[in-house]
Amino acid sequence: MRDLAARLTALDPDAGAALRVIAYFDRLTEGRAGLEAIVRGAAVLAGCPARLSDDHRRLHLRVHPDGTDATAAPADPAWMSAPVGDGSVLWLERPGPPGPVDAMILERAAGAARTVLDRTRIHPAALLDLVLDADAPEPSRLQAAARLGLTANSRVRAAALPGGKAHLMTETDPPLDPQARAGIGPAGPIAALPASYAEARTALRFTAEGTGRDPGPRVVHAEDLGGLALPAAVAEPVPDVQALTRVAATAPWALATLDAVAEAPSLRAAATALRVHHSTLQERLSHIDHVLGWDFRTPHGRLRLQLALALRRLTRSA
């Protein structure tokens, strides 16, 4: 390669220099060189300071051509640069546009740096799993949280989503999409996230699709459950849940009607929520009465209905 570069230089100095750049960074990559060696090589070959910036990793390297490290002001957009990936940028501190040799330095140095970052990068999903893992050491969980952009003073809550997915929510984050289905855990310090996620998973089991066939809230906060969280261990349908199943088979509006009656402060409010006339609601309830098996108009019966609907969601999610 050295002989070829020498012969090529005699014919075309830029081409010979570019070939030496390629060979230089190929050797660094094959030797598994670190980022500092790659940035230093770019500075030496270019004859000007070089830097690598990665805000997500909080990584900032700057090296002079003589090999010394130095700190400096933020990068100038007029400098020559090349993207490394995921927001990382390699800079040559010289105004552009780059010539053929500088362009090759940027391309090969960025490629070598990308190889290092890909080798050491942890996917955000893996970091999230680590943060929520109650069995992981707390220092590891805190370090993973920092890499996700959370600070030691952050108050965060975990959200459990369908399909086993999770999401972290800080106090400044916008609320979830109202069409999303989620269980929301309590807010607290980073160290408490595994507990928040456990409660969020329980809250998710109390959610529903919000349709006539599966009425109920799409988003449930764990703090709002109180003692209702205790029946979450129930795995098999109880008789009252079986009664709701029979009711659901009689009419497509049956479950939505019972859900509205259970949640509304009065029958008239329930009719308004269902967008039906009060007399229509009374006809529906008369239809349901003999199938359900208990009087849901009394305080005790209404509580029994609310619990039966909650247990139905639990057993369906289980």
pLDDT digits (tens, 9 = 90+) for 236-265: 667 888 889 888 888 889 999 999 999 898
Asked whether the whole model's pTM tops 0.85, one would answer: no
174/79 Cα distance (integer angstroms): 36
Q: How confident is the model at residue 7 (pLDDT cuts 50, 70, 90)?
A: very low
Q: How far is CA 11 from the centre of its chain?
A: 55
Q: Quick one: which of 138, 203, 194, 136 has its CA closest to 168?
A: 194
pLDDT number for residue 16: 66
Q: Do 111 and 164 touch, CB atoms closer than 8 A?
A: no
CA distance 225 to 219: 12
Distance (Å, whole) CA 140 – CA 273: 49
Give the sign of the dihedral formed by CA 230, CA 234, CA 240, CA 246.
Answer: positive
For the ranges 72-86, 119-133, 205-219, 279-293, which has the lowest average pLDDT?
119-133
Could you tell me if 186 and 224 are in contact, meaning their C-beta atoms sit under 8 angstroms apart? no
Q: Give the Cα separation of 206 and 231 in Å (integer).
A: 10
